[in-house]
């Protein structure tokens, strides 16, 4: 049974200096949101984060990984693009409160050279700590045989350590985020798909993390604007890149050990 996992890794925002209409906080600039590092934050209040495309750019996916919200009130991040000069059309809107990792499939559009991709941030009060923003094209695994998958409970990697007094009272508690091990294993893949699609992805994950929806068919829900948001999403990175191996009938197999980082919303 093919579950057709989805990946978002080719961030079209990377390498482009953004324009931010809100307040820039020293040590937490907008550039931190596109560096593929979950430990550096972009601290955002209400404003527009604009990226001007140098060439015609196709997009159909959007992900936001947000640390715990520090303020109050409604907060959203909306993906928009400049569909005509100075006219912005919305593609997907998410509610990122509570340290969520959200992966949304949007309508497929082409952002013309010289026009902008905009991430409109709306915050009630306080500020939003954004670990990562990714916009690009979703890579879907070829329909071969989904041989192995990590159980979706990879969010349960939490270690709690209690400090107890001599009379048994709880003095303190340490809660740590942990990683869980897993793998991506796909069998019966065509050589053409491996060369054109898997190999560029392998080059990315040799250096950077990626957004991974292991079973988008059974874990999905509607985003606020009606587009599809995938549940059970991981911030993942490879432990080592292996060359594809041959299977029967001239088809190929890929097997990559990966680690999944626990989402903030589940680490309490």
pLDDT tens profile 203-243: 999 999 999 887 777 777 777 666 788 877 888 889 888 88
Which pTM value belongs to this model?
Answer: 0.83
The confidence band for 1, taking pLDDT boundaries of 50, 70 and 90, is: very low
Average pLDDT over residues 47-67: 94
Q: Which residue has the tokens 């000069």?
A: 85
pLDDT tens profile 4-26: 788 999 999 999 999 999 999 99
Torsion, CA 217, CA 220, CA 221, CA 222, rounded to 10: -70
What local confidence, expressed as pLDDT, does residue 88 receive? 97
Domains of the chain, by residue range, sit at 6-138, 145-266
Least confident of 128-132, 176-180, 257-261: 176-180
Round to whole Å and give the CA distance between 68 and 177: 14
Give the residues across from 77 on adjacent strands: 94, 121
CATH entry, 6-138, from 1.10.630.10, 2.60.120.260, 1.10.1200.10, 2.40.30.30 = 2.60.120.260
- 3-class secondary structure, 250: helix
Round to whole Å and give the CA distance between 32 and 45: 15
Average pLDDT over residues 136-146: 82
- 3-class secondary structure, 128: strand
Q: Are strands 6-8 and 139-140 parallel, antiparallel or unpaired?
A: antiparallel
Q: Give the distance from CA 219 to its chain's centroid.
A: 15
197: DSSP letter: I
What local confidence, expressed as pLDDT, does residue 134 receive? 96
Higher pLDDT, 178 or 163: 163
Q: Give the distance from CA 178 to its chain's centroid.
A: 18
H/E element, 82: strand 75-84
What local confidence, expressed as pLDDT, does residue 66 receive? 87
Q: Count CB neighbours of 77 within 10 A.
A: 23
Round to whole Å and give the CA distance between 144 and 98: 36
What letters, b where the CB count within 10 A reaches 16 and e where it falls short, cover 227-256? bebbebbbbbbbeeeeebeeeeeebbbbeb
């Amino acid at each position: 049974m093919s579950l057709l996992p989805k990946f978002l890794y080719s961030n079209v925002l990377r390498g482009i200096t953004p324009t931010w209409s809100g307040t820039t906080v020293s040590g937490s600039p907008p550039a931190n949101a596109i560096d593929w590092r979950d430990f550096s934050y972009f601290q955002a209040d209400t404003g527009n984060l604009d990226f001007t495309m140098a060439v015609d750019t196709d997009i159909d996916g959007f992900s936001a990984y947000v640390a715990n919200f520090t303020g109050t009130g409604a907060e959203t991040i909306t993906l928009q693009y400049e569909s005509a000069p100075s006219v912005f059309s919305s593609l997907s809107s998410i509610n990122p409160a509570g340290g969520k990792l959200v992966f949304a499939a949007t309508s497929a559009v082409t952002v013309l050279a010289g026009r902008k991709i905009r991430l409109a941030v709306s915050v009630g009060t306080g500020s939003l700590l954004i670990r990562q923003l990714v916009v690009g094209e979703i890579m879907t695994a070829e329909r071969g045989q989904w041989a192995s998958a990590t159980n979706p409970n990879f969010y349960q990697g939490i270690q709690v350590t209690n400090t107890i007094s001599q009379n048994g009272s709880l003095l303190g508690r340490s809660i740590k985020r942990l990683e869980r091990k897993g793998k991506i294993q796909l069998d019966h893949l065509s050589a053409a798909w491996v060369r054109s699609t898997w190999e560029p992805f392998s080059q990315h994950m040799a250096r950077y993390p990626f957004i991974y929806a292991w079973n988008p068919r059974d874990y999905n829900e509607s985003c606020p604007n009606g587009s599809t948001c995938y549940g059970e999403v991981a911030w993942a990175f490879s432990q080592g890149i292996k060359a594809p191996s041959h299977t029967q009938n001239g088809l190929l197999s890929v097997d990559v050990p990966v680690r999944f980082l626990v989402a903030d919303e589940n680490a309490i």
